Amino acid sequence: MKPYNNQLGKNIRYMRERKEMMQTELAKKCGITSMHLSYIERGLRSPSVSTLQAIAKALNCSIDQLLKAG
């Protein structure tokens, strides 16, 4: 697991929880499975650029905010 992916996943989870959104809801808005989103949040998978864009749009934030180091 790469630390970069781990931080990205933590940021996505943090933003999702701030919006009081369940993984299933965010995943549906992004067109991915909740299992795939879970892998991304845990830093086990890297999202594609298009998935990262969809996540940022669904969370109403910028990609920069998601990539920001802790």
Model confidence pLDDT, tens digit, residues 25-69: 999 999 999 999 999 999 999 999 999 999 999 999 999 999 987
Q: Does residue 3 register a pLDDT over 70?
A: no
Q: At the fourth CATH level, which superfamily is domain 3-67?
A: lambda repressor-like DNA-binding domains (1.10.260.40)
Angle at 4 between CA 9 and CA 55, to 5 degrees: 35
Q: Are 43 and 5 in contact (CB under 8 A)?
A: yes
Can you give the pTM of this predicted structure?
0.90
In the chain, the percentage of residues whose pLDDT exceeds 90 is 87
Q: At what angle do helices 34-41 and 23-30 cross, to 10 degrees?
A: 110
Q: Does residue 21 register a pLDDT over 90?
A: yes
Q: Are 54 and 47 in contact (CB under 8 A)?
A: no
What is the distance between the alpha carbons of residues 33 and 26, in angstroms, rounded to a whole number?
9
